[in-house]
Structures are given as structure tokens and as C-alpha cells.
A and B are shown apart, each in its own frame.
Chain A
Amino acid sequence: MKQIGYAKASPNLDAIFSALADPTRRAILVRLAEGEASVGEIAAPFSMSQPAISKHLKVLERAGLIVRGVDEQRRPAKLQADAMGVAVEWLAEFEQFWDGSFDQLDSVLMQMKKSERGETGNE
């Protein structure tokens, strides 16, 4: 089932998954959805030091989920939509495998019921 996803998968997917697995990093992404921000601005609502936030940003950057600006002072972080799109698409596809299979199983069971009734009727 996962192989279906592999066909479209990005080489970065592991990094994306580990990056998204952390609640702080997901919260950072939500913050960045409002617009680009410096480390200080991102750190403000968290009870976390700037170096700790910087570490999270590095993980997000390596996963290709954000890009950092060139401004030496601020290095504002910005969301990069493409990478997240890959993860979302892949995960959605994965769930759809069983959803889609189960829908098909529903109709197979319906046919089994019908033919069982048919056989009984013929006897």
C-alpha cells in the first residue's frame, strides 16, 4: 500500500515526517502561516529559549518546510508550501488505500450476500 505513495514520494519525506511529528514545530508552522518571522518573534509565545527555537527551525529548514531569509540580523523564517504538500498528499493517499479498499470490500460482501440468497432460492 505504501508503495503507491512511494511513486510520488519526495526524497525528503523522512525529514518531513520527523519534523511534523513534534508539536512545537507544528505550532511554529502555524505561526509562520501568518507571515514570516524572526527567531525572537517566533520564540515569544513559547516558553523556550531562542537557541531551542533555532534548533527547531533548523529541523524544519532541513525538511524543506521553511526557508530562512538572507538578512544576517533577523534571518526571518518563511513557510515553504511544497514540502508540506508532499507529506499531506502522501499521508492522505495512505489512508485512502484502506478507505478505498474497504469501500470495495463493502460491495464484495453485498455480492456474496446476494449470491448466497440466490443459491438458496434455486434449491
Chain B
Amino acid sequence: MSELPKYVVDRKFEAPREMVWRAWTEPELLARWYGPGVETIIHKFDLRADGEWLNEMKRGEYSMLSRAVFTEVSPPERLAWRQYSSTDRNWQSIPNPQMPDWPRIMLTTVTFSEQGGVTNVRLEWAPYEATEMEVACFAGAVANLGKGWESGFALMDQLFAELQA
């Protein structure tokens, strides 16, 4: 199989790696930051390979449910899980009618490395066991999200400015 498109983000945190690892892997800490501006409720968090993470994010009356299964738990270096895009109330995966070709399962890999008390978190996001259509859909998004995205975004700003002129 050719190389799959992935989305990569790096971010540095002013804290030792063990502490950052705890913030990612202790559900009461994780719930405090995962999901911006939403109330995050962690229904299950079984931190081991093949263990489940059942997550709910509430914004007003709207709830977003997701089910993840850990694929790698290697403290304090690497954490990975595959996540089902949308689930119903019984945590069963449901296809999204608005984005039928978006990958049904995504693999998130988080790598923690420390240098002088500063921890770098690398987040990688890629389709998991995806169909060709799903890979194409994701590749389209990454083309705009990834390296070229900054310029793509500027380009569109310019487009809109010109359209409104």
C-alpha cells in the first residue's frame, strides 16, 4: 500500500514529559482540556491496548459521542488509538450522512518527547483501514490542512476579499 496521507501537528508544553503524559491519560485530567469550549464527559477509559475510551462532548444541547480503542499505550512516550467517527447512544459506529466518504475510522498517534523540561507533543492523524474513497476524501482535507494549508488559507482570504471588493 502506498503511503497514506496524514495530518501532523507539533506543540510544545512547558512541563516535564511525565506530567504531560498524566494529563493525557488520567481521565479526570483529560476531561478538563480535551475539546475546546465543550463539556467533556469520559464514560469509559480503559488505558491498555484494546481498551476502550468512550467520550462525550456536550455543547449546549448537542452531544458528540465517539468511541476509541487504544492500539498502543507506551508510557510516557507514545499513545495511539483508533477512533470511530460517529457513534449512536449505544456507542455503535454510524456513517455520517453529511460526509459519507470521510474515513469511518481514524488512527491518532501521540508521541511525547522531552528536552530541557519542555515536552513536544506530536499528533498524527491518519485514516485506518480506509477505502480508496475515504483516503481520497481525507487527502483532500489534508492538502488544505497540512503544510500547504497556511498558504491555502491566505489564498482563500484573498479570494474572498476580491469577491467582496
A contact residues vs B (CB 8 Å cutoff): 1-4, 6-7, 9-11, 13-14, 17-21, 26, 29-30, 33-34, 79, 81, 84-85, 87-88, 91-92, 94-109, 112-113, 116
19 A-B pairs (CB sep. < 8 Å): A3-B96, A6-B86, A7-B62, A10-B98, A14-B100, A14-B102, A20-B143, A21-B136, A21-B140, A81-B160, A84-B156, A94-B141, A94-B145, A96-B36, A97-B35, A100-B36, A102-B11, A105-B23, A112-B22
Please state if B159 and A105 are interface contacts (CB–CB under 8 Å): no
* Assembled-state Cα–Cα distance A64/B155 (Å): 18
**A72 to chain B: closest CB distance in Å?**
26
* Assembled-state Cα–Cα distance A34/B165 (Å): 11
**A85 to chain B: closest CB distance in Å?**
8
Which residue of A7, A34, A98 contacts B9 across the interface (Cβ within 8 Å)? A98
**Interface size grouping (class) on chain B:** 35 or more
**B44 to chain A: closest CB distance in Å?**
18
**A74 to chain B: closest CB distance in Å?**
21
By secondary structure, the A interface counts as: helix
Please state if A33 and B35 are interface contacts (CB–CB under 8 Å): no
* Assembled-state Cα–Cα distance A2/B86 (Å): 9
B33 within 8 A of A: yes
Contacts A33-B158, A97-B35, A109-B23 given; indicate if A20 touches B140 (C-beta within 8 A). yes
